[in-house]
Amino acid sequence: MNQISPVLYANTDDAVQTEKSAKSTPKQHLNILDLLRGFAAISVCLYHYTNGTLPKISIPFTKSLFSWGSLGVDIFFVISGFIIPFALHRSNYTLPGFGKFMLKRIARICPPSYVVIILAIAQWWTIDTFLKPSAPYLSLISIPQLIHNFLYTIDFTGYKWINGVFWTLAIEFQFYIFMGLVFSIISKNKIFAFALAIIFTVLSFTKFGNGNTIINYGSLFIMGYITWLKKTNQISTKIFAPFLFFITAIASAKLDIPSALFGAATSLLIAYVNVKHPVYTFFGNISYSLYLTHILVGTTLEGVLVRFLPVESVITRLTILLICLVSAIIFSYLFYITIEKKFIAIANNLFR
């Protein structure tokens, strides 16, 4: 699994809330997704905060304790593999709707991430202006780099991400494009869908499966897709169980065993568990905002707090870690209600 640097993961549960129309079915909210998305976002946040993003308050035992946190991204990929076909199916999607589908995804996902890029640049400008480091942060940014960050195409260039976890958003968009193009076919022809899954599996072990591509992480998206088939009673448990076992084995060989197990567990929870709690709903709602902003919040607070508190003490470092975590949650909630939620409404209203 690639180490995640600073966000998205792409929060896609709003896709469940497909618009009512003469041909579409009513909205449906799947409560288990709130729990999974919230857990995944918190996991990634804790992983970053304890495994290098906040080096001045690094503590060996917390590094080991939350080293598994990067697996939150695997959960996100399985959720996307489930929720996108779920939403497309309920809205009676056909290929002529590809443009509107992609515009809705762009309006939903991109603007909040662009705001975070702007905030990161503002953070770097502040550091350069007032702390005057020997190697100014802004000197590392170029116009082409900015463009590729906005287009999520950094992995196809020699530039670096301004927000390191945007690599997951890039993979999400690869999946959106792929599903938008083939869903009309695979939703009507399950044999073709399973054949396509096998092709993806084979390609993942070739040169096409290297790097941050949908082919590399295809097994996780396939887990989500077959979970959609099971959840909507299009396949039976007798088909779902062995196929999930097969894809889990493939994920173990291609990625690693923890990624495969987290992916399989996510599939099983979506397929068979339904839990609801206000806490789960809260963290599910803010999960994308938390994923996008936690690095910005954590690095800013660490830079300020270590100037006033003695970081030699483990207790102090744990206190700073807790302050960063709580502040990230609070900031992500504010970001959700002021930025993200508005673009959810725009996406739903403009691109029905």
Give every CB contact of residue 223 below 8 A, 6+ residues apart in sequence: 78, 81, 244, 247, 248, 251, 263, 264, 266, 267
Write out pLDDT tens, residues 296-335: 999 999 999 999 998 899 999 999 999 999 999 999 999 9
Asked if 154 contacts 148 with a C-beta cutoff of 8 angstroms, the reply is yes
What does the alpha-carbon distance between residue 330 and residue 31 come to, in Å, rounded to a whole number?
22
The answer, yes or no, to whether residue 295 has pLDDT greater than 80, is yes
Predicted confidence at residue 286, as pLDDT, reads 98
Q: Largest alpha-carbon pair distance within the chain?
A: 64
How large a percentage of the chain has pLDDT more than 70? 91
What does the alpha-carbon distance between residue 315 and residue 323 come to, in Å, rounded to a whole number?
12
Predicted confidence at residue 25, as pLDDT, reads 52
Burial (CB count within 10 angstroms: exposed 0-12, middle 13-18, buried 19+), residue 133: exposed
Asked if 48 contacts 73 with a C-beta cutoff of 8 angstroms, the reply is no
The answer, yes or no, to whether residue 56 has pLDDT greater than 70, is yes
Report, as an integer, the average pLDDT of 177-191: 94
- Dihedral of CA 211/212/215/218: which sign? positive
Query: In this structure, which amino acid lies at residue 98?
Result: F
The answer, yes or no, to whether residue 21 has pLDDT greater than 80, is no
Q: CA 212 from chain center: how many Å?
A: 13
How large a percentage of the chain has pLDDT more than 90? 81
What does the alpha-carbon distance between residue 295 and residue 134 come to, in Å, rounded to a whole number?
22
The answer, yes or no, to whether residue 139 has pLDDT greater than 70, is yes
Closest-CA residue to 168 (of 298, 5, 286, 278): 5
Residue 81 CA: distances (Å) to CA of 10, 33, 324: 12, 12, 31
What does the alpha-carbon distance between residue 5 and residue 138 come to, in Å, rounded to a whole number?
18
At 349, the pLDDT band (50, 70, 90 cuts) reads confident
**Residue 338 carries which DSSP code?**
I
Write out pLDDT tens, residues 70-91: 999 999 999 999 999 999 999 9
The answer, yes or no, to whether residue 120 has pLDDT greater than 50, is yes
Predicted confidence at residue 157, as pLDDT, reads 93
Question: Dihedrals φ, ψ of 196, to 5°?
Answer: -65, -35
- 3-state DSSP assignment of residue 291: helix
Q: Which of 85-99, 187-201, 293-307 has the lowest mean pLDDT?
A: 187-201
Predicted confidence at residue 18, as pLDDT, reads 39
Report, as an integer, the average pLDDT of 47-56: 96
Side-chain half-sphere exposure of 259, counting CA atoms within 13 A = 24
Predicted confidence at residue 11, as pLDDT, reads 44
Write out pLDDT tens, residues 236-293: 999 999 999 999 999 999 999 999 999 999 999 999 999 999 999 999 999 999 999 9
